[in-house]
Amino acid sequence: LQVENQLRHALRNNYLQVHYQPKVSLRSNKFVGLEALVRLEIPDVGVVSPADFIPLAEETGLIIDVGERVLRQTCRDMREWVEAGAVQGRVAVNLSAKQFLQPDLAKRIMSILQEEKLHPSYLELEITEGVVMDDPERAIEIMTELNNLGIHLALDDFGTGYSSLAYLKRFPIQTLKIDKAFIDDINGAERDRNMVASIVAMAHNLGLDVVAEGVVNLEQAATLNNLNCEFAQGFLFAEPLRRENFLAHIGTTL
Ligand code: G
Ligand code: G
Ligand code: MN
Ligand code: NA
């Protein structure tokens, strides 16, 4: 209850901050997109990770409010950057289960895009296997509706949930994000490397882009590039950055 009150207090006082992590092409070494990651910045307390408040926000229903604020701020920042010619590609926003299953999700997202004057083609939504596998048939309907609006979809944390390949081939998604757990020991463990090679090949055969998550060193980046995994995120390139630091970072280090 204490954490719930803290979360309500944080929402009332607008302590939510959206940070952005660049996505890069391992082939060209160029910045190609970004992911929005929310944080709570509470004065005198510090930065609280979403891992510590998203589950509670889900339980209490506060996630709907959190999610709308994150999406609105992200669209606002992205629009400014796109207009300034400062960013390319799409901005990815994570959706949790309750958000994804809101009956009027597509309508709500479209109003935010319209109010913030961002074209849907700049937006990508990340959903995890857990979110879609709960009711895959319904998930396919929702994903199709979002796709028809021009919004791209990515399956996040791929490989860690229980995904069914039979559904994977039916999901109207554009991108697979390979979980960090497969990347960590990609150079030390042949089995991990083979697993990633197979995921990349399968994704490409399904016409999907592949993003490796949690890339922390050049050896991992080189191996992934050799395995034909074109895109990556991770501390090697940048950690999630405050919006004030994001442009400076992509301008100076890529
Ligand atoms: O960036 P970080 O490692 O702190 O994120 C921890 C977890 O919180 C990740 O699983 C990430 O997907 C999730 N997360 C980050 N931002 C958001 C958000 O805006 N909405 C939702 N639903 N989850 C988020
Ligand atoms: O579940 P999702 O993939 O959306 O969450 C991404 C999480 O991973 C975020 O919490 C983000 O801060 C974190 N992250 C991003 N890059 C790295 C990395 O290179 N190493 C580690 N340990 N975490 C990372
Ligand atoms: Mn994600
Ligand atoms: Na992930």
96 in ligand 1 pocket by Cβ < 6 Å? yes
Residue nearest atom 13 in ligand 1 by C-alpha distance: 50
Closest to 169 (Cα-Cα) out of 195, 143, 208: 208
Ligand 4 centroid to Cα of residue 154, in Å, is 10
| From 16, 37, 72, 213, mutation site for ligand 1 pocket: most ligand atoms within 8 A of C-beta | 37
Query: Residue 254 is which amino acid?
Result: L
Alpha-carbon gap, residue 169 to 206, rounded angstroms: 7
Helical spans, DSSP H, in 13-104? 50-60, 63-83, 97-100
Alpha-carbon gap, residue 239 to 188, rounded angstroms: 23
Closest to 229 (Cα-Cα) out of 192, 246, 121, 189: 192
Alpha-carbon gap, residue 230 to 226, rounded angstroms: 9
92 in ligand 1 pocket by Cβ < 6 Å? no
234 in ligand 1 pocket by Cβ < 6 Å? no
Predicted ipTM > 0.85: yes
Query: Residue 83 is which amino acid?
Result: E
37 in ligand 1 pocket by Cβ < 6 Å? yes
Q: Each residue's pLDDT tens digit in the chain (254 positions)?
A: 677 888 899 999 999 999 999 999 999 999 999 999 999 998 888 898 999 999 999 999 999 999 999 999 999 999 999 999 999 899 999 999 999 999 999 999 999 999 999 999 999 999 999 899 889 999 999 999 999 999 999 999 998 887 778 889 899 999 999 999 999 999 999 999 999 999 999 999 999 999 999 999 999 999 999 999 999 999 999 999 999 999 888 874 43
Q: Can you give the residue ranges of every domain in the chain?
A: 2-253
Place of tokens 């959706």: 95
Query: Residue 160 is which amino acid?
Result: T
Yes or no: domain 2-253 corresponds to CATH 3.40.640.10 = no
pTM of the model: 0.96
For residue 204, count other CB atoms closer than 10 A to its CB. 15
Ligand 4 centroid to Cα of residue 179, in Å, is 5
